[in-house]
Chains A and B, each alone.
Chain A
Amino acid sequence: MNKKALYLLLPGLLFLAAFMLVPITLTIASTFVQDGKLTLEGYLHFFRDGYFNRILLTTLRVSVVTTLVCMLLGYPAAYYISRASARKKSILLALSIFPLLTSPVVRSFSWMIILGKKGLINSFLVNIGLIDKPLDILYTPVAMMIGLVHLFLPLIIITLLGVMENLDHELVRAARSLGASPFAAFRKITFPLTVPGLIIGGILVFVGSLTAYTTPALLGGKERVVSTFLYQNAMTLNDWQAASVIAVIMIVITFVVVGLMNAWANRLNPKG
């Protein structure tokens, strides 16, 4: 890169340094200090605490499942949209982006109406006699997952669509002419070439689910995830030290997961 291009980066870099790097570094540093001494006590305290471990586990489970479900639902949807005719494509695209236009609060309330004890699903199941007591869906991790999938599905579809639209259909024809069935061409060409979109979309969904606040707070009831726990520590208990430790743990998890998924992406590029 030449020097002139670096100047173009400068404003962005300064902004990031001032408003991200510095506060994050300060936050991280503060977690290693207690009563003026350097210590790991802040972290050890958390990992010895069964309550926190349970919250961490719930969070990871919710995020991982949300990510996988989004990938599974999003990939075929994006594939279908990318192959549709121009007119159909714009309609489908608008439909899939539509949820993004309503606030997470509104969406969570609609899910509460659907999932609650007297909600749509339970009334329906009871009425047709499939169950005699309403199921506990609302205020469980399952409700959080449903809300989060709804929240993030558009995101992964749009990400995947970008990659799939860029895929040269001539490549699929080339594979077919060389003897590949439609499925073999998909497996050997389309899929490997769109995996980067799946991974990037997956990372976005995972990080989003890990840090989401509104949806788990409203649909989770008493169930805590790390972000709601962080909020509780900072705002209700005024324990900023604990909140910082939780924040750092979240950052570390994010980096580890992004690293793992990148490695996975490279592995998923199979040879002919």
Chain B
Amino acid sequence: MSLLSLEQVSVAYDNRLILEDFNLSLAKGQLLSLLGPSGCGKTTTLRLIAGFLNAEAGAFMFGGKDYTKVPVEKRNFGFVFQSYALFPHLSVFDNVAFGLRLRKLKEAEVKKRVTRMLEIVSLGGFEKRLPAALSGGQRQRVAIARALVIEPDLLLFDEPLSNLDANLRVNMRVEIRRIQQELGITTVYVSHDQEECFSISDQVAVMNNGKIEQLDKPSAIFKYPASEFVARFIGFGNFIAFDGRNDMGSDIELSRGALKFQAAKRPEGLGNTGLLGAIRPDDLQLFGEPGAAGIDGNTLPGTVQISTYLGRSYQYQVETELGVFTVNQEMEQPFVQGQRVTVYFPKEKLVLVQ
């Protein structure tokens, strides 16, 4: 039973449709990420849910009620903005207390709740500071505390970590996930950083051009992208367009002209159609001599074009009769430019997408 659902929603700016017939649903207590390239409509979706934007068509249901026409202030959703949007003229305490005071709580109760919430985000002792006197990470935590303290029915995050440095981002995303799970708050989280999305979400929706291309558990998306777009977006850098497929048992036999390849079938329910093979640079393997031990099939002979050092591994561009493949491989003695090699496509790692 889903808590939130967008049903056939369309949103337009100046008569330009950004979302069209958009559908999304989310169960109580879950954290859903919207992941996608810049301009694909993530913020638009979030603003629609928050009530900052009106839908041209369709309905937004929440907790079994029609929220389409409910004004922002009646929704009781917490929103954490990319820019934090802290009130610059109010202290940390007054920022966090803002929503509680609007709810006409007694001042003693306000103080109790604000103090507790500031403890949760590790900002005890910062009550009197103005936002201008805080670091980026501290501001971010005030913004979270301010959204959480009203005990929202839904929490919305719009790229809350994009202004922070790399280390702090990792710490804060763990923190956000901890608080979200501890309080069991249903959350929609927007980001264009896939690692961030995968690490904190129960569900990830990969968006492209105002549409959801795939909605699934992070691990399922990571291993089994549904479409070429999703595959590219999450790092499947190599593609082979096959011209025939033949499902046999647990494997699929693929052909491209006279060449034959094998791919393992996906687990049930993860989509198994398509003729485009995709594989990550990390999953390809290179061998110096043809016909390495224990490997027959799923190989292509090729020539190393470019070799670069990535730190953990070397990256090679290998030219074959099916085009250029990118391979990341950890090794002591790197292959050199012009060397003849064999590219091996492990069948469990080769996935088929639409």
Question: Could you list which residues of chain A lie within 8 angstroms of chain B, going by C-beta atoms?
Answer: 168, 170-171, 173-181, 184, 188-189, 192-193, 269, 271-272
Contact = CB atoms under 8 A, between A and B. Distances in A.
B80 to A, nearest CB: 9
Contact of B87 (A174, A176, A177): A174
Contact of B150 (A171, A178, A184, A192): A178
B81 A179 contact: no
A174 B85 contact: yes
Counting chain B residues whose Cβ lies within 8 A of the other chain, the interface size class is 20 to 34
Interface string B79-120: 101010111111100110111011100000000000000000
A192 B50 contact: no
A272 to B, nearest CB: 4
A75 B250 CA distance: 73
B309 interface: no
A179 B83 contact: no
Interface in B225-245: none
B97 A179 contact: no
B72 interface: yes
Given A173-B52, A193-B89, A272-B98, A178 B146 contact: yes
Nearest to A184: B102
B79 A173 contact: yes
A144 B73 CA distance: 46
A24 to B, nearest CB: 36
Contacts of A179: 73, 76, 99, 102-103, 150
Nearest to A170: B85
B316 interface: no
A176 B94 contact: no
Interface string B275-300: 00000000000000000000000000
A193 B94 contact: no
B78 interface: yes
17 contacts: A168-B83, A168-B85, A170-B83, A171-B85, A171-B88, A173-B50, A173-B79, A174-B85, A174-B87, A176-B73, A177-B147, A178-B98, A178-B99, A180-B98, A188-B98, A193-B89, A272-B94
A223 to B, nearest CB: 42
A177 B78 contact: yes
**Which of the listed residues A173, A178, A179, A271 has the most CB atoms from chain B within 10 Å of its own CB?**
A178
A188 B81 CA distance: 19
B81 A272 contact: no
Contacts of A170: 81, 83, 85
A177 B77 contact: yes
Contacts of A269: 89
A219 to B, nearest CB: 40
Contacts of B83: 168, 170
Contacts of A271: 90-91, 94
B101 A272 contact: yes
A189 B87 CA distance: 7
A41 B63 CA distance: 81
Contacts of A272: 87, 90, 94-95, 97-98, 101
Nearest to B96: A272
Contacts of B77: 177
A271 B76 CA distance: 22
Contacts of A177: 50-52, 72-73, 75, 77-79, 147
